[in-house]
Amino acid sequence: MKIGIIGDIHGNLPALQATLKFLDSEMCDAIVCTGDIVGYGASPRECLNIIRERQISCVLGNHDQYVTLLMDPRLEKLDPDTRKVIEWTQGKLDMEALKWLAQLPLKLDMGDFTLVHGSLEPHNHWAYVTNEQIAARHFAHQHSPLAFGGHSHLPTLCRQRAGAPPEISFLKNSVLHLDDAKTMINVGAVGQPRDRDPRAACGTFDFAENRIAPHRVAYDIAAAQALIRQAGLPERFAARLELGK
């Protein structure tokens, strides 16, 4: 079995379309999503519809959750630009779409692996698994050998051998030994990469040889930026796309 992994789409339709076209050419048996379908970008409804139509298994991201919250004090804590996009996104989704987003699970046990957006640590699910301490708390609650997560928008490989501290490294094409360490993989963001490579990020995992392959897909960044500007959303969410940060 070979799966395609996507996440942090963030309403970026040109990036999502290019990424799915690439993954279709990779002949994946299934595609899974680590959450944050919406937020930042100008095509939340279109992206959400694609995930639903293709029946892509998906967990809840923090932006997905924010969009389903109305009059909630948690929204007050967001920075004003982010809140502006969340409120704009709420207006673009009908009640049925909002209900679908709201029912997404925080984690999904897929048998061979677990899907999560941030961390599996209870009551701290929007933690960024990018340092040893947070990774250790995540792994304490990861009961499968392999998990895929998103949230930081950084392609990372986290591994923890029994009795040892977690090791975090930049994700590279590699064959993993899943029986000697717990593994958590972030393939990076489809719709808003933050590792200075502006191309869309995704991954494939081949269970026949336990090979993780990170991929970058060129897409029409100018088109995604134009949609953000036409919608009147904050300029910085358009500008950062060509910088990959």
The alpha helices in 69-131, defined as continuous H runs, are 73-76, 80-92, 95-102
User: Considering the complex, what minimum distance in angstroms separates the CB of residue 8 from Zn ion?
Assistant: 4
- Comparison of 12 and 114: residue with beta carbon closer to Zn ion: 12
Which one of 35-43, 83-91, 93-101, 215-223 is the stretch in contact with Zn ion (CB under 5 A)? 35-43
DSSP state for residue 110 in the 8-state scheme: -
Closest alpha carbon to 245 in 195, 199, 202, 170: 195
Which one of 31-39, 93-101, 131-139, 154-162 is the stretch in contact with Zn ion (CB under 5 A)? 31-39
- Comparison of 108 and 176: residue with beta carbon closer to Zn ion: 108
Total site size for Zn ion, rule CB under 5 A = 2
- Comparison of 100 and 128: residue with beta carbon closer to Zn ion: 128
- Comparison of 80 and 111: residue with beta carbon closer to Zn ion: 80
User: Considering the complex, what minimum distance in angstroms separates the CB of residue 131 from Zn ion?
Assistant: 18
**Cα separations (Å) of 117 from 9, 71, 150?**
12, 24, 5
**Selected binder of Zn ion within 3, 4, 8, 216 (CB under 5 A):** 8
Which one of 36-44, 86-94, 154-162, 200-208 is the stretch in contact with Zn ion (CB under 5 A)? 36-44
- Comparison of 18 and 33: residue with beta carbon closer to Zn ion: 33
- Comparison of 78 and 178: residue with beta carbon closer to Zn ion: 78
Burial 191-217 (b: 16+ CB within 10 A, else e): bbbbbeebbbbbbbbbeeebebbbbbb
DSSP state for residue 117 in the 8-state scheme: S
**Helix or strand or coil: residue 233?**
coil
The answer to whether 195 contacts Zn ion (rule: CB under 5 A) is no
Which one of 8-16, 94-102, 168-176, 220-228 is the stretch in contact with Zn ion (CB under 5 A)? 8-16
**The Cα angle at residue 84 between residues 79 and 89, in degrees rounded to 5:** 130
**Selected binder of Zn ion within 23, 36, 44, 113 (CB under 5 A):** 36
User: Considering the complex, what minimum distance in angstroms separates the CB of residue 206 from Zn ion?
Assistant: 26
DSSP string, 149-208: --SS-S-EEEEE-TTS--EEEE--SEE--TTSSEEEEE---SS---SS--SEEEEEEETT
Question: Backbone phi, then psi, for 66, in 5-degree steps?
Answer: -55, -40
Residues that bind Zn ion (CB under 5 A): 8, 36
